[in-house]
Amino acid sequence: MKDLSLHILDIVQNSIRANAGRISVGLNIGDDNFLTLVVNDDGSGMNIEQAARVKDPFFSTRTTRKIGLGVPLLLQKAEQCGGSLSVSSAPGNGTEVRASFLTTHPDCPPMGDIPECAWMLMVSNPDKRLIFNFISASEEWDWDSLQIREALGEVPLSEKSVRASLLNWFQLDFSNFKGNIKT
């Protein structure tokens, strides 16, 4: 995967397959130049053995195939740039995937189009609550699909004018967040 938005898409899809109703995606930039990605869900979770093996590319909780490359590739990206990855999970209590990246490292992955990724996930999963949260030292930005849907009423997120407005909002917020990242 070439950029962070694709990793986010993959991890969120794992949460959706685990029957999560609420999925939170957070990006936090610290004063130490580490960018931390946290994807947290209320899905079915994994037992201790599954959680321990999730970093193994030849393991998957899916029954349709025997390999799972998403988490191992995210681990590889994090470690290549001086970061780390952890997975916490328990049956019935959801899962948290936490990855950190040293933004000043030359191997730090590019962000990709996170605003488009967020909009696409919200549109394609209307029965899920997706929350995107971005935190810098001085500011915080939130995109919450439930709040957006409540504000729009019957107007779908896929409506052309809604899409344009949401993407403008998301892109402005994300641009402000990225302005706090040292590369």
pTM, entire model:
0.91
Ramachandran quadrant class, 14 (left: phi over 0; alpha: psi -120 to 50; beta: rest):
alpha
Low-confidence ranges of the chain (pLDDT < 70): 57-69
The pLDDT value recorded for residue 129 is 98
pLDDT tens readout for residues 116-126:
999 999 999 99
Tokens 């899809």: give the residue.
Answer: 13
The pLDDT value recorded for residue 59 is 62
| Distance in Å from the first CA to the final CA of the chain | 20
- Full set of structural domains in the chain with CATH: 4-178 (3.30.565.10)
Residues 6+ apart with CB under 8 A from 26: 36, 37, 38, 39, 40, 132, 133, 134, 135
For 26, the enclosing helix (H) or strand (E) is strand 22-29
Radius of gyration of the chain (CA): 16
Question: CA–CA separation, 33 vs 136, rounded Å?
Answer: 11
The pLDDT value recorded for residue 61 is 62
